Each structure stands twice: as C-alpha cells, then as structure tokens.
Amino acid sequence: MAKELGVGIIGCGNISTTYFSLSPLFRGLKVLACADLNRSAAELRAEEYGVKAQSIEELLQNDEIDVVVNLTIPAAHFSVSKAILEAGKHVYSEKPLVLTLEEGEELRRLATEKNLAVGCAPDTFMGGSHQLARKYIDEGGVGRITSGTCHVMSPGMEMWHPNPGFFFLAGGGPILDLGPYYIANLINLIGPVKRVGALTSMANPTRTVTSQPLNGQTIPVETPTNIHALLEFVNGATITLSASWDVWSHRHANMELYGTEGSIYVPDPNFFGGVVEASGRNKDIKPLENWDHPFGIANQESPQGPRANYRTAGLADMAIALTEGRDARCSLARSLHGIDVMTSILKSGEEGRFIELTTTCTQPAALGIEEAQALLR
C-alpha cells in the first residue's frame, strides 16, 4: 500500500468543494487542513468537510502536510505555489499553473532545487472517454493524426459564477481558463506543440454580471475574449482552436481529429465522460464501443443528466507517482508546455506573427482500466 500524503488546500472558493468531496475516492491522499485569505471561507469548508481551518502561514508550517493544493484565483497561483515550495511542500495547482512562462520557469527552478514536485490540473484527459480516444488513436484506428478542429465557445461566465471578475482580467479569458482542457487533451492524444499563430479580439470592453450576488455590477475586460488560433504539432498535425466568450450559439463540435485513415470525434475535454465517435475511410461515423473505464462511470447528477466527475485524479496520480518514483501525468513539464502554448497564442494575437515554442514535453502515459482502478480506494 502506497504511503498516504497529507494534503492541505489553499483557496476555499467555488471549485474547492469538488476537491473536498471527490478526494476521498482516491488512494494515497488525505485532506487534513484548509486556508484562505478570507478566514471565514476556510472555516466554512472546514466545518462542511471535517478538516482543520488554519491561517495560510500555519498550514504552510503544518508538519503533517506533504502536498498543498492551490485553488486560489489565477493571479495568485504563482505567489501561492512559490510560497508552498519555499515551505518545503509539493504543489498541485488548479489551472492555469501560472500566467507567464517566466513564472513557470521560476517554479521549475525552485522545485528542482528543493527536490519537490509540482503538478497542475486539468486532469479531465484522464477520463474514460479521452482515454478511449487515446487507445483508439494509439492502436492506429484513424491512422496518423494530420489535422483537426477544437471549439470552446459560449456567451461567457458572468451569468453563472458568483464572483466572475477574474475571468476577464489578465490570466483569465477563454484561452487561459478553458484552453488548458483542450491543450492538455491534445498533448494526451497527439503530443507536444511546435509553433502557434492567432487572431484575438474582444466584443466589449466591459461586461455586466447577471449571476447572484453581484447582479448588475459592471466588470472590466482586460484580456481577449475571442481567439482563433492555429497550432502546429511536433508530429506535423495542424489544429484550429477557437476559444470565445463572445458567442451566443454555434454548431461546432468540441474536438474533431482527422487522420490518414479516418476521423475521431472527441467529447468536451472539460469533462471525464461523453461519447467518442469515429469513422474510417467509408465515412460511416459510429460511436466507439464503450469500455468499463472507472473514470467514465457517471457518479454525479448535472442539469444535463448523469455525469462522470473524477477531478482530483491528477492529484492522486501525482501522490502515487511520488511514492513510486514515476512520472506524474499532470506534470510540471506538461503544464508548463501548456502555458507556453497559451501565452504564445495571446502573444501571437498581439504581435501578428507565428511564435515558436521554447518548451516541450512528452505525451503522458496512457491510463487504462487497471491503472485508473489503481488510483481509487
């Protein structure tokens, strides 16, 4: 039995309930304490989930804690992760890891110096559907992937998130907020990216919140909300990625990948499940035969029906990888490459030229049924 790591959570907002409620599914982890700039937010979660509320300082000095999960807002990710490493603890961050490549390189330097691990969400590419797509591609089901399209487009976030301001500041925007799911899954399915180009814009310089409790408040938009990017992969594949919060409706699929022998239709990489379809040269598009992957089994109700949600799987994989001395799937190298892709897309939009990436990474190990089962209690 692998050693269990003591986990602390910094940032007790919206997404923290997912980590508190799903982490008990996994082996190798025990959430012990939480902290937040807003002490009452930490106290609320501590009471809900039976953990200890601490100040940030106390949590960083808590000897029982081996890994700290950073669930703060994107603008705080770098400073909070840096403080965690400086306190001698491993980091697992919500996406995006950092807002610039330089910040990411500093975390890499610090982690290497202190022999600590840094991991980062998203882990949805470990879902049953995305791993089924990975298996089909690896087995040559559609030949060599040569091109594809990805679309993540909606009217925005200010109609559902209780505090949506950060989505429209530097570090937010659809590319840094939702891009990570797409980039992580493209790295899972195709491998690393070589260069990118993009056109970026914003429909409006301000937005009006329509969710509660800030209904009616005007918030500034300081980052592009409409991005059309082209990605050239190291394997030669060329992919179009459209990410927008300026679109009321559309008819594009989340992810279509075209290979030398056929096409594969991958469901929304923001989720663990969904139907994977594929066709061969005969153009007959059919669902792939489902497999009993543990991370594809619906375990939650959602407004769209039953849903598979295994967020925290990446943290569990990192905890077990640390004790087994193997590569974690949501590794620093892959997250940093994702940051390079996304920040280069924004830079290309500003400068009007293609940007060659300076980082690279390997594809994560595939996660079959047995490997996924081994992460669960």
Ligand X SMILES: NC(=O)c1ccc[n+]([C@@H]2O[C@H](COP(=O)([O-])OP(=O)(O)OC[C@H]3O[C@@H](n4cnc5c(N)ncnc54)[C@H](O)[C@@H]3O)[C@@H](O)[C@H]2O)c1
Interface residues with ligand X (CB under 6 A) are 10-16, 36-38, 41, 56, 71-74, 76, 80, 94-95, 163, 177
The Cα 372–Cα 184 span in angstroms is 18
Give me the numbers of helices (H) and strands (E) for the chain, helices first please: 11, 19
Place of tokens 């990805």: 150
Question: Exposed, middle or buried by CB within 10 Å (0-12, 13-18, 19+), for 358?
Answer: exposed
Q: List the structure tokens of 99.
A: 């807002």
Q: How far is the CB of 56 from ligand X (least distance, A)?
A: 6
The H-or-E segment that residue 84 falls in is helix 74-86
Q: How far is the CB of 259 from ligand X (least distance, A)?
A: 30
Q: How far is the CB of 347 from ligand X (least distance, A)?
A: 21
Q: How far is the CB of 78 from ligand X (least distance, A)?
A: 10
Q: How far is the CB of 29 from ligand X (least distance, A)?
A: 18
The Cα 196–Cα 243 span in angstroms is 14
Between residues 263 and 343, which has the closer beta carbon with respect to ligand X? Answer: 343
Which of 180, 158, 152, 119 lies closest to 315 in space, CA to CA?
Answer: 119
Place of tokens 């489902």: 290
Beta-carbon neighbour count of residue 185 at 10 Å? 27
The Cα 235–Cα 25 span in angstroms is 36
The Cα 330–Cα 184 span in angstroms is 9
Between residues 66 and 177, which has the closer beta carbon with respect to ligand X? Answer: 177
Between residues 177 and 340, which has the closer beta carbon with respect to ligand X? Answer: 177
The phi and psi torsions of 194 (rounded to 5 degrees) equal -100, -50
DSSP label at residue 71: -
Q: How far is the CB of 369 from ligand X (least distance, A)?
A: 26
Closest residue to ligand X, based on beta-carbon distance: 13
- What is the DSSP annotation of 237-252? -EEEEEEESS-S----
The phi and psi torsions of 162 (rounded to 5 degrees) equal -65, -20
Between residues 147 and 211, which has the closer beta carbon with respect to ligand X? Answer: 211
Q: How far is the CB of 70 from ligand X (least distance, A)?
A: 8
Q: How far is the CB of 54 from ligand X (least distance, A)?
A: 12
The Cα 252–Cα 258 span in angstroms is 15
Q: How far is the CB of 319 from ligand X (least distance, A)?
A: 19
Between residues 98 and 116, which has the closer beta carbon with respect to ligand X? Answer: 98
Place of tokens 């009321």: 248
Between residues 177 and 246, which has the closer beta carbon with respect to ligand X? Answer: 177
Q: How far is the CB of 163 from ligand X (least distance, A)?
A: 5
- What is the DSSP annotation of 120-186? ES--GGGSHHHHHHHHHHHTTTT-SEEEEEEEEE-S-STTT-SSGGGGGSTT-HHHHHTHHHHHHHH
Between residues 8 and 192, which has the closer beta carbon with respect to ligand X? Answer: 8
Between residues 158 and 256, which has the closer beta carbon with respect to ligand X? Answer: 158
Between residues 10 and 116, which has the closer beta carbon with respect to ligand X? Answer: 10
Between residues 81 and 226, which has the closer beta carbon with respect to ligand X? Answer: 81
The Cα 184–Cα 178 span in angstroms is 10
